[in-house]
């Protein structure tokens, strides 16, 4: 898979328009708002994405993070000193984890053309090259290939600030939530990109997986905002 000149320019251009993303009501806007919240509340932790495909949301997330971090680091006009909570928050750059087969959708019986096994073909080399265009490189980015159920041991050691679940399928969401559960903390943002897929059917997809997860763990996930065609953001309470 090669990166076209147009794709390369698009990734570079995104950096310049990222500042105007806050009031967008799509995935880009949701990620921007999530990072605005993380910086406003100085919530330490990593970014975890389940469902990377070619890396668009991963790259946008990184650019939003960089935007808010620079604002906090560089502004000389802040009405407070950066010595305690803010200094500790800025001392560490979050790691951006991307979990995916990088080989398309796994076997599933959803019966949807858009989710057929093997669709969303990508490759880890391709995503690595696209990330590098946005200066997102190892070790800040960790791409973990394989099924979520088989890579859960590779979840990082730090708590999650933002979890982006964009894997469409019920079974995949069960596995993603199972993997990330130990890293959820008070205030973690959870973005479910396909929450209302399957016509918002409570017995299917991410909706079903999340309802079961809440029953099992007793976590309180407060609905925060809806975005995009079928997505929903939550805030975690412990």
Residues of the shown chain interacting with ligand SAM in the complex, contacts defined by CB under 6 A: 51-54, 56-57, 100-101, 104-106, 120, 122, 147-148, 166-169, 172, 175
Smallest gap from Cβ 181 to ligand SAM, in A, equals: 16
Asked whether 96 and 140 are in contact (CB, 8 A), the reply is yes
**Residue with smaller CB distance to ligand SAM, 82 or 204:** 204
Helix (H) or strand (E) holding 9: helix 5-17
63: tokens are 């650019």
**Distance, CA of 234 to CA of 41 (rounded, Å):** 16
Smallest gap from Cβ 101 to ligand SAM, in A, equals: 4
Asked whether 66 and 117 are in contact (CB, 8 A), the reply is no
Smallest gap from Cβ 99 to ligand SAM, in A, equals: 6
Smallest gap from Cβ 123 to ligand SAM, in A, equals: 11
**Residue with smaller CB distance to ligand SAM, 38 or 52:** 52
Can you tell me whether residue 95 is helix, strand or coil?
Answer: coil
Asked whether 207 and 195 are in contact (CB, 8 A), the reply is yes
**Distance, CA of 120 to CA of 133 (rounded, Å):** 21
Q: Measure CA 205 to chain center.
A: 18
Can you tell me whether residue 80 is helix, strand or coil?
Answer: coil
**Residue with smaller CB distance to ligand SAM, 172 or 232:** 172
**Distance, CA of 89 to CA of 46 (rounded, Å):** 12
Asked whether 53 and 120 are in contact (CB, 8 A), the reply is yes
Smallest gap from Cβ 222 to ligand SAM, in A, equals: 23
**Residue with smaller CB distance to ligand SAM, 56 or 66:** 56
**Residue with smaller CB distance to ligand SAM, 173 or 188:** 173
**Residue with smaller CB distance to ligand SAM, 57 or 232:** 57
What strand order describes the sheet that includes 189-192? 141-145, 96-100, 46-50, 160-165, 189-192, 231-237, 220-227
């Amino acid at each position: 898979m090669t990166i076209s000149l147009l794709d390369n320019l698009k990734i570079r251009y995104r950096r310049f328009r990222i500042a105007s993303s806050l009031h967008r009501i799509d995935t880009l806007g949701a990620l921007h708002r999530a990072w605005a919240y993380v910086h406003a509340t100085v919530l330490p932790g990593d970014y975890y994405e389940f469902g990377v495909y070619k890396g668009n949301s991963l790259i946008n997330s990184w650019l939003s993070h960089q935007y808010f971090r620079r604002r906090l680091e560089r502004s000389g006009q802040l009405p407070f000193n950066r010595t305690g909570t803010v200094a500790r928050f800025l001392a560490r750059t979050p790691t951006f984890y991307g979990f995916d087969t990088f080989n398309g959708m796994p076997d599933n019986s959803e019966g949807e053309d858009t989710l057929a096994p093997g669709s969303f073909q990508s490759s880890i080399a391709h995503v690595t090259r696209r990330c590098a265009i946005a200066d997102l490189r190892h070790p800040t980015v960790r791409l973990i290939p394989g099924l979520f159920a088989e890579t859960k041991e590779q979840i990082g050691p730090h708590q999650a600030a933002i979890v982006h679940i964009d894997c469409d399928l019920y079974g995949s969401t069960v596995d993603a939530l199972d993997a990330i559960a130990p890293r959820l903390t008070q205030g973690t943002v959870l973005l479910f990109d396909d929450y209302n897929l399957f016509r918002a059917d409570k017995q299917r997809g991410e909706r079903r997986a999340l309802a079961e997860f809440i029953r099992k763990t007793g976590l309180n996930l407060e609905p925060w905002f809806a975005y995009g065609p079928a997505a929903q953001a939550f805030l975690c309470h412990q």
